[in-house]
Structures are given as C-alpha cells and as structure tokens.
Chain A
Amino acid sequence: MRDFSSSPGLPECATVSEARLLSVLDTAADGIIVIDERARILIFNKACEQMFGIASVEAVGQNVKIVMPIEYAYDHDKYVGSYISTGVKKIIGIGREVRGRHADGTVFPLELSVGEAATPDGRQFIGILRDLRPRKESEQRLADLQSELVHLARVSAIDEMGAAIAHELNQPLTALMLYLQAIRRAHSRGMDINAMVGDILDKAAAEAERAGHIIQRMRQFVEKREPVRSVRDIDPMVDEAVELTLLGQRHRIRVEREFAGDLPPVAVDPVQIQQIVVNLVRNAIEAAAPTGDPAIRVRTRLRDGNVVIEVHDNGPGIAAPALPKLFEAFASSKRRGMGLGLAISRTIAQNHGGDLLVDPGGNGKGACFSLVLPVAPPPVPSEVG
C-alpha cells in the first residue's frame, strides 16, 4: 500500500486532518503535484500516477523533471531559481499549456496551473495538471467531421448535377458512335473510304477525349482529399468553376463574366473555393430560371483590400422571412439536396479568413452573393545565396 507517511521531505502525517487532505488529493480527477523550493516532489497524487505511469512512492523525493520532456527538464531548475531570486512570475497564477512525459517516453499536452504556498518548511508550489489529449482528440475529430461534411456537400452537389452530366456525356458518345458506325457501314459495303477514314477517326478520337475531359473535371471536383492551401489567382479558378456548373445545364441562361484580370493572389484551397462558386452559380441559375430572360453575372474585384467574387442573378430576390435562416444547415426550402450548400460555403469562406455575404435584392432586383477572401500575404523572400 502506498501512502505519503514515509515520504521524504513531507513531515510525518501526524494529524487526522492531514490524512484527510491526502485522501482528498487522491480522489481528485486532476493531477496534483506539490514541490518544494528545490523542485523536489512532495506530493504526487493518484491521478498523476495514472498520467505519468510512475508510482507515488517512486516519484516523491525526486526532482519534478522526471515528468517533463528532456528539453523542459533542462531549464526547469533555472526557472524555479529565477522565480525565487527575482519574484517574476512566469507561470504562477497563470494557467498554460505545457508538455508532460509519461514513463514510457510518450510526450503529451498538459494544462498546468501553479499556485504557491508559504509553509513553515519553506515555499511550496502546487501544480494542477490536466491531460489535454482527450480535448485535442475531440478537436481533431471535429476537424475531420467538418472536412467530411464539406466533402459530402460536394458529392451531393454532383449528385444533383448527375442527370445533367449524363446529358453532357451523351453528346460525345453519340458523335463517337455515329462516326464509328459510318466507317463500319462503308467498310462492310466495300465502299472506297480510304480518302476520308483518317479524318473521321480523328474526329472520333476527339469526341472520346471530350467525354474523358468531362469525367476528369467531375472527378477532380468530387474526390475526397485533404484541404490544401496554395497561392493562386482567383480569376481562372472562378472561370473553371463557372464552366463546371454550366456543364450540362438544362436552363438556357445568359452568363456574364466580368473578371478584374489584375487581382492580387489569394491563399486558398482551390477545390473548396470552386465548390462555393459552383454552389452560388447553381443557386443563381435556379433563382433566375423562372424569369423570362434568365441571366447571371459573375464578377471579381478588389474591395477594401479583399478579393471579392460576386454572383448576381436577375431573379426575384430573397424573401425577407427566408433571410435569417439562409446560411443555416438543413433550412433549405429547395426540394432537392440537403440544404447544406450555403452553410458549408460560409464555413469554408470563414475558414479561409473571409466571409460569404448576401444582398437579398427584391423589388425587381435579383440577389447578389459576395464571397470575400483576404489577399495572400506577400511571399517571404527566399534565402539569399
């Protein structure tokens, strides 16, 4: 049985109240370590035994460095000495995140707060420690979940575009089939086709390539991947996304593109940004479709030091009651899809340090969504030499 009565440095556990204190320490969920002025461990509670894989009897009397990674351990005595001589508080009374070391060598994040007590035996420091790993794990899980959701929204967008894509693929497949059948027929009738067969085969190959390109574009967009930031020009990225959206679009619609052409680059995940643009353009087309002359305008420009991508439609605008819930997940009034589009889009924009804003329009004016992205910081000059 472990107890503290034999602990060196700690006075005999003479009174009942002291015994009670020690048992309280052992029931605490947080790790508690008490050290003296020379950083020797006086108390090492049960939670600490668990946290560091060291029994209390072994820990007590040793320098507190045994629970620190080497690089901290090296400086710790200096810190204690410096505080005692200067009185300047670096950690006392302030909680901070530090790293601890388990007996098996694992280094892990800890939240440490330190208090100080003057005792007849000199100054003692009380450290309260909380293992941060469960919190880090849940933060990681949250990040994973968010990335999963972003992916899901992209897949759902593609799913809704599925019928349109089938239509788009039908064109090159039709052409391909007819070219080949034309050659087949001519051949089987013994017609002299030598003069034209090369030309027809070239055209057939071009159609097959066209079908391949359509699939490639879809695949690039939908495949699950880690978010990757890179410094890019926004105009070509937006142009590509508009093209992708128009791919197999059933509504006939005028699309005006007004690109600034000279915008500073942005540091973004291109696929995620394109996901937003696809989403906005699709919404704009849906909003404009019922009007007699549907038209949308996609514009890029610089505003207040940010790059802004605007998507206007000439639909009826957004009704006031729908506005407050516009960016909420699952609040969509649309029949299809999950209503995740705008919620995800805004999250992505904000993760990029930007935002997604809306001018609802109305009274004969269509809606306008603005995707705002901060300009990329200037590149760090590369090393000289």
Chain B
Amino acid sequence: MRVHVVEDDAGVSDSLSLILANLGHDVISYPDAESLFRSPPPDGSDTVIVDLTLPGIPGAQVVRWLLKMAAVPRVVVITGQSQSAIDHQLRGLAPAGVVRKPLTVEALARALPAS
C-alpha cells in the first residue's frame, strides 16, 4: 500500500519512512502541505499520515482537504499536542485515526489498514 507522510520534522519523517517501509509500504514523504498539493493527489486506496503542526498551511487544513476528495484516502493524524488543542483543530473532522506522539510501531500499525 502507498503511504504519504506529511511531516516537517526531518527526524520523525525519516524514521517514519523507515518503519513504514519495514512494514511493507511504499512511502512518499513531504516536508509540508504545499509540497503534497503540488504532487499527484493520493487516491482512495492510499493512506495519508498528516502531522497537525506544519509550517505554512496547517495540518488540520490538509485533513479537511483530503476528506473532501472524491475518493477519500485513509487519513491518519499524528501530533504531540494536548488533547484539547487536537479537539479544537479537528472540530467537525473525522480522520480514520489520531495517533499521539511519541509514536510506536504498534500504535501506527493499528491506525493503518491491515495489509
């Protein structure tokens, strides 16, 4: 399965790619929302992992955009923010999963579809 990772932190992004590849996925990484939007859009069978805190266009905006696509990909939010901050930003949005940092491979695997 193809997994898109939108994460600005280089360390998190790199380690996430490694573990996802390890789990058998094809990984495409983006340092921000803008570069995701410039690339070919994900399709309905893809998963997009979005960090809430992004430079420029915020993560919640990316989630909103993805959930409005004709073929909605699986959207998984990752974040280190407090629950109230998460709730505030995701008002009215229902991503498939929210995984809080620090991430573990188990929590990630649960949020991804069984492959």
Within 8 A of A (CB), among B7-64: 9, 11-12, 14-16, 18-19, 22, 53, 55-56, 58
Within 8 A of B (CB), among A175-191: 175-179, 181-182, 185-186
Hey, what's the 0/1 contact readout for A182-225 against B, CB within 8 Å counting as 1?
Answer: 10011000000000000010010011001000000000000000
Contact status A171-B19, CB under 8 Å: no
> Number of contact residues on A: which range applies?
20 to 34
Contact status B102-A170, CB under 8 Å: yes
Contact status A171-B80, CB under 8 Å: yes
A136 at interface by CB-CB < 8 Å: no
Contact status B81-A174, CB under 8 Å: no
A89 at interface by CB-CB < 8 Å: no
Contact status B11-A252, CB under 8 Å: no
Cα–Cα distance between A200 and B17 once the two chains are bound (Å): 12
Q: Write out the residue numbers on chain B whose beta carbons fall within 8 Å of the beta carbon of A174.
A: 11-12, 15-16, 80, 101-103
**For residue A191, which residue of chain B has the nearest CB?**
B22
A166-B80, A171-B80 known; A203 vs B14 contact (CB < 8 Å): yes
B1 at interface by CB-CB < 8 Å: no
A170-B101, A185-B105, A186-B22 known; A175 vs B15 contact (CB < 8 Å): yes
Cα–Cα distance between A385 and B105 once the two chains are bound (Å): 68
A294 at interface by CB-CB < 8 Å: no
Contact status B14-A175, CB under 8 Å: yes
A38 at interface by CB-CB < 8 Å: no
Cα–Cα distance between A168 and B11 once the two chains are bound (Å): 12
**For residue B55, which residue of chain A has the nearest CB?**
A252
A163 at interface by CB-CB < 8 Å: yes
Q: Write out the residue numbers on chain B whose beta carbons fall within 8 Å of the beta carbon of A252.
A: 55-56, 58
Cα–Cα distance between A173 and B18 once the two chains are bound (Å): 15
A174-B103, A252-B56 known; A200 vs B18 contact (CB < 8 Å): yes
Could you list which residues of chain A lie within 8 angstroms of chain B, going by C-beta atoms? Answer: 163, 166-168, 170-179, 181-182, 185-186, 200, 203, 206-207, 210, 250, 252
Give 26 pairs: A residue, B residue, CB < 8 Å, sorted on A: A163-B85, A167-B53, A167-B81, A168-B80, A170-B101, A170-B102, A171-B12, A172-B11, A173-B102, A174-B11, A174-B12, A174-B16, A174-B102, A174-B103, A178-B18, A179-B15, A181-B104, A182-B105, A185-B22, A185-B105, A200-B18, A207-B11, A250-B53, A250-B85, A252-B55, A252-B56
